[in-house]
A = this chain, B = another copy of it.
Amino acid sequence: MLYSKLFPKTIKQTPQDASLVSHKLLYRAGFIRESTAGRYYMLPLGMRVQQKIQKIIKEEMDKIGGQEMITPVLHPKALWAETNRTTSVGFELMSIKDRNEMEFVLGGTAEEMFVDLVRKFQISYKDLPLNLYQFSTKFRDELRARGGLLRVREFLMKDAYSFDISEEEFRVTYELMRQTYSKIFERAGLKTLVVASDNGYIGGEYCHEFVVESEVGESRFFVNPDNSYCAHEDIAEFIPDKKNLDEQEKSLQEVEAVRGTTMEDGVKLHRLPLWQQIKDVLFVDEKGRFILAIIRGDFDVNEIKLLHAIKAYQLRPATEEEIRNKIHSEPGFISPVGIKELIEKDVELVIVADESLHTVKNAYGGANKKHRDLLNMNLGRDYKPDITSDIAMAKEGFLAPDGSGPLTAKKGIEVGNIFQLGFHYSSKMRGANFVDKNGKPQPYYMGCYGIGLGRTLASVAEVSCDDQGIIWPLSVAPFQVHLVGLDLKGESVKREAERVYKLLQVEGIEVLFDDRIDVSPGAKFADADLIGVPFRVVISNKTGKTLEVKKRGSKQTEFLTLSSLIETVKNREWLIL
């Protein structure tokens, strides 16, 4: 490719809202451009990188028997209704009607579409395991887009769906996909952590995220020192330390408490430790139920765990008005003790206690009245939760459930995920069966697997760059060689540069040739650094028989003959620089 013809050229400005390094660099170097917030043009340079990532994914998926296909973009809404996902999805579905008044959703994920396809055929146990995948545009109606390609409203996703005859067989598939994903990201130049995660709106029981550690990532997770425990904050568990369990239970006492409404105000007034206080948080779920979550004062409520505990999918904080008029309690003074006797007749209240309340005795906190507190509250004796469960957000410094530790909190970019689905879809959708050895229909055991290609691309740029620009790994670089021609007004230099350009291409090497005549060497070098092609090769009045070669990200310049350059570029050890 001649740089003079490449669209677009690099630019100096960055968009005002760009805070992430990857966003700024990809934008300035001309890999991406925004159409509207969260919807991007993938420009020729970006396209080349995305296609290389796509090729790596395809090769690895095909190796393990994946079969590529593609579904329509518009999914019949009726299918999503079969599994109740029209109401339960975490992202807003975008709906559209055609002129015949048929309703569709823009695909966010495609479980229903694949099950609907497979059930059109009578498949048998001999067809399984089956692993179907596609590369297709996915839509998420995010309230806010952010950070270039990291949180967008439209993106290319590889999504795969597996069908197995049993849970046992599925476990083999799942492990194979886990290994395949690690390999894909490794080949793309990314080091990923496999983080146990919440399955969210997808359904199923367990899943894992592939996360590139990065301060700018939105995935927060906890790891032990050797990474053997690695879990997303939504589900991370820990062992709460035992506190005053040796104490005698003292009698419950209501006292005057002229204080503010924070936990700190309670600590100051009673001069008791934070952990001995009960933290009460009141929510309302999507069915209108009030949910009182109670937890040891030094921990926080994890809303995802709470949702699972109460089998709901949406929570909002109760308003002060609701606390007063529906619950007849007082903001900042809520207590589980006696609260069920106070509430309005038509109100349903569920009390959910965190396990950590088992580690403390004689707790203190509000008394459901303004400026009144209770001392010496004891679980079981003074209040009985409807549900006792782990609803705590994990905390740094504590031990993992297996006793290893201490846990550290980290952040990263989620580039892929794998989900166990089990019978979640095959039980809800009629006819989602295979014929077993005895000729009987059985539901298949499913999994699904996603990789965001734009995010993967941006993650590489985010973690592999310097002040001058991007440093692409050879495996996903838009070109392998950036040939910089200097002194091109001279006929012989020009001829030599064109000769090298052609010969490299004949060898199957992808070359970006900066053939511009009226641009200074400094500007050309700056462009080369910004774009980040692995090998910069200079031809000028001074180079003569050898070529001036510099690896992007290295300070050192070497002089190589054309043939040794070719050998170096083709050497697989240079796959990741």
Binding site for B on A (CB under 8 A): 1, 4-9, 11, 33, 35-36, 39-44, 46-47, 65, 67-76, 92, 94-96, 98-100, 102, 106, 113, 116-118, 120-121, 123, 126-127, 130, 132, 137, 139, 141, 143, 153-154
Contact = CB atoms under 8 A, between A and B. Distances in A.
Query: Taking the full assembly, how many copies of this chain does it contain?
Result: 2
Contact of A35 (B94, B113, B143): B113
Contact of A98 (B5, B74, B132, B153): B153
Contacts of A139: 73-74
Contact of A76 (B36, B46, B73, B76): B36
A7 B99 contact: no
A96 B139 CA distance: 12
Given A68-B44, A132-B7, A96 B99 contact: no
Nearest to A136: B137
Q: Report, nearest first, the 7 A-B pairs whose CB atoms are least far apart.
A: A39-B72, A44-B67, A8-B121, A96-B96, A42-B70, A35-B72, A47-B69
A65 B117 contact: no
A343 to B, nearest CB: 34
A95 B98 CA distance: 9
20 contacts: A5-B67, A5-B130, A6-B67, A8-B123, A33-B120, A35-B113, A35-B117, A36-B74, A36-B76, A41-B70, A47-B69, A47-B70, A73-B137, A74-B139, A74-B153, A74-B154, A94-B98, A95-B96, A96-B96, A137-B137
Nearest to A32: B69
Given A9-B121, A42-B69, A35 B132 contact: no
B94 A94 contact: no
Nearest to A43: B69
A174 to B, nearest CB: 19
Main secondary structure of the interface of A (DSSP, over half): mixed
B41 A69 contact: yes
Given A7-B118, A9-B127, A92-B99, 19 more contacts: A5-B67, A7-B69, A7-B130, A7-B132, A8-B121, A8-B123, A11-B121, A35-B116, A36-B74, A36-B76, A40-B72, A41-B70, A47-B68, A72-B154, A74-B154, A94-B96, A98-B141, A100-B143, A137-B137
A36 B102 contact: yes
A521 to B, nearest CB: 19
- Max chain B CB contacts within 10 Å: which of A36, A47, A106, A121? A36
Nearest to A4: B126
A139 to B, nearest CB: 8
A103 to B, nearest CB: 10
A41 B137 contact: no
A43 B71 CA distance: 8
A41 B121 contact: no
A94 B35 CA distance: 19
Nearest to A66: B44
A469 to B, nearest CB: 19
A299 B70 CA distance: 47
Nearest to A44: B67
Contacts of A42: 69-70
A106 B1 CA distance: 32
B39 A74 contact: yes
Nearest to A36: B76
